[in-house]
Each structure stands twice: as structure tokens, then as C-alpha cells.
């Protein structure tokens, strides 16, 4: 199975619990290989770097810098992460998840 998965592009590889998501891996490569230490770890959506709920304060700061000229793209990215997190954490409050993923953008 690993051989098959290794041959797939990053964005269509299945998510591996405890690892960062394929879209986040692809985003890291798109950043020229720059890797953040503060990626989400599924399915609990805590930060791989500081263990705080993702996006942690450091990752929020990094995202603001990365998307400095593209705030709508940042909102769309975070909305996609919110959808995934809502599926992974079905018992979590939708209001709290919305505040956590998108509420800090204002
Ligand atoms: Zn962190």
C-alpha cells in the first residue's frame, strides 16, 4: 500500500491519522519547501509544533504573513480546513469551530 501511496501526487494521497494533511503537505511544497512546525495533526486538529488547537497563535501569524496580499484565499483555505475539522470532530460545537478557524480573521 505504501508503494502505491508514494506514487500518487500529494493532493490525492489518503490522509494518515497523526500526520499533516495532504493539502498541507502540498502547500508546504508550494511555499518552496518552506515547512512550518505548526501544521494541523488530524483527527484532533492540534498543532504539530505546540500541541495547541490549530491554527495556533504562531500559525495564525504565519498564515497572515503568507496570505498578506490574498486575504480571500486565506479565508477559503481556512474554510476548507473548517469543513474537514467539522467532519473529524463531529461532537464539537460548530460555533466554537467557526470561531477557532475563521473568527480570528477579522
Ligand atoms: Zn503551534
The 3-state secondary structure of the chain, one letter per residue: CHHHHHHCCHHHCCCCCCCCCHHHHHHHHHCCCCCCCCCEECCCCEECCCCCECCCHHHHHHHHHHCCCCHHHHHHHHHHHHHHHHHHCCCCCHHHHHHHHCHHHC
Q: What pLDDT is stored for residue 36 in this prediction?
A: 84
Ligand 1 centre to CA of 1 (Å) is 31
* pLDDT averages per 10-residue partition of the chain, 106 residues: 46 48 57 76 96 97 94 96 97 96 93
Q: What pLDDT is stored for residue 51 in this prediction?
A: 97
Average pLDDT over the chain, rounded to an integer: 81
**What are the residue ranges spanned by the domains of the chain?**
2-105
Ligand 1 centre to CA of 40 (Å) is 8
pTM of the model: 0.69
CB under 5 Å of ion ligand 1: residues: 38, 47, 49-50, 56, 58
Q: What pLDDT is stored for residue 95 in this prediction?
A: 96
Q: What pLDDT is stored for residue 34 in this prediction?
A: 62
Amino acid at each position: 500500500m505504501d508503494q502505491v501511496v508514494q506514487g500518487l501526487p500529494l493532493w490525492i494521497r489518503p490522509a494518515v491519522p497523526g500526520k499533516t494533511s495532504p493539502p498541507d503537505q502540498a502547500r508546504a511544497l508550494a511555499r518552496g519547501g518552506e515547512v512550518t512546525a505548526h501544521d494541523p495533526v488530524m483527527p484532533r486538529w492540534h498543532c504539530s509544533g505546540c500541541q495547541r488547537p490549530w491554527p495556533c497563535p504562531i500559525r495564525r501569524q504565519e498564515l497572515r504573513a503568507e496570505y498578506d496580499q490574498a486575504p480571500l484565499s486565506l479565508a477559503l483555505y481556512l474554510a476548507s480546513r473548517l469543513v474537514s475539522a467539522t467532519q473529524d470532530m463531529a461532537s464539537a460545537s460548530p460555533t466554537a469551530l467557526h470561531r477557532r478557524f475563521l473568527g480570528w480573521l477579522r
